[in-house]
Structure 1
């Protein structure tokens, strides 16, 4: 589903912004760098401004792994060690303009034996959203083909309307085209793709 013509999408009560894993280890100099991952930051800052201006909920997720996490290559996983709890690599991107007083932080992947790509996996995110009357999620961040993909799919499964912020996502692309395939899958499952200029002022 796409927005027809030049129709604008208006933010309203019941909307929430989910910023997925914009952490140092996923930026170009990080241990698990997402190509052009830093490019999501300026776009996300503009979405953050729009949500702050309307007093709408903002959820920021972060990988928060123990040093022996199962996703790490030394322990049989596919990835180099990244986003170890309390490390500089796990910190949010410095240029990300987070309103500390008004965000909810969701930690994921905190157990050594359990991986968690989705912000809903092993967290209280669903309960938090429902407690605030949220029915529509605006999702951006890193990376398109893993944590964004899984968060969007789980959000749709849980019954939320989901809006995919196409100008605020970037892909790992372990295989060429993974990001494009992930975007197509999210849209096929019901996510609405938008860019910032499609938001009503």
Structure 2
């Protein structure tokens, strides 16, 4: 685990991407789901806050890429997979305002930013939320989820552009186009993000 404050960043771990019946199912989903489960359990057991994002599209507001409709509002495909579901998550709608709970004394254990675009920072409250999660000092954001060539990449670059420490869990990310994964991880290193693994974060199994 990194030294100092840590926040896990769970990017779009939703059924349409990670369930075999999902409309935009990623081929590596079955490989990473056990690691997504381990990271979620580790965060819950160790009281590590989780900042999650969720794709949230209206039928008439598709992604700019030629993807099939996915993660439509109130659909089954927009739900988080069982491995990363967090009952009681504080959910901010795409235009929702962030009101820190308990008078701002503590950060939410799990907060979900619903977004209409790839980028975490396309949500109007994202900068405020990230700043709140890192209010106790230099914070390491541990990023995992999907998709490396779209939403994960936006989150990593956005966090680094804002000067935050970032670690990418390389065995808990998947790309829409699997062949792009090595290049994406190389790019993340070039902008100053570090690579890590589920075992390095949670400890080896067994």
TM-score (norm 1): 0.81
TM-align CA RMSD: 2.0
Q: 1:122 deviation in Å? A: 2.5
Partner residue of 1:144 out of 143, 148, 152? 148
> Which aligned pairs between 1:54-93 and structure 2 lie closer than 5 A?
54-71=46-63, 77-93=65-81
Match of 2:10 in 1: 19
Aligned residues: 180
Q: 1:99 deviation in Å? A: 5.1
- Aligned mates of 1:49, 1:193 — CA distance in 2: 21
Q: 1:198 deviation in Å? A: 1.7
Match of 1:106 in 2: 113
Give the ranges of 4+ consecutive aligned residues of structure 1 lying more than 6 Å apart after TM superposition.
none
Q: Are the aligned partners of 1:141 and 1:168 in contact in 2 as well (CA < 8 Å)?
A: yes
Q: 1:151 deviation in Å? A: 0.8
Q: 1:97 deviation in Å? A: 4.5
- Aligned mates of 1:35, 1:143 — CA distance in 2: 11
The CA deviation string for residues 25-76 of structure 1, in whole angstroms up to 9 with x for no partner, is 112321111112243222122122222233221111110101111426xxxx
Match of 1:33 in 2: 25
Q: Are the aligned partners of 2:23 and 2:70 in contact in 1 as well (CA < 8 Å)?
A: yes
* Cα gap change, 1:92 to 1:11, in 2 (>3 Å): farther
Instruction: Indicate whether 1:44 and 2:51 are aligned.
Output: no
Q: 1:82 deviation in Å? A: 0.6
Q: Are the aligned partners of 1:11 and 1:200 in contact in 2 as well (CA < 8 Å)?
A: no
Partner residue of 2:83 out of 90, 95, 107? 95
User: 1:145 aligns to what SS in structure 2?
Assistant: coil
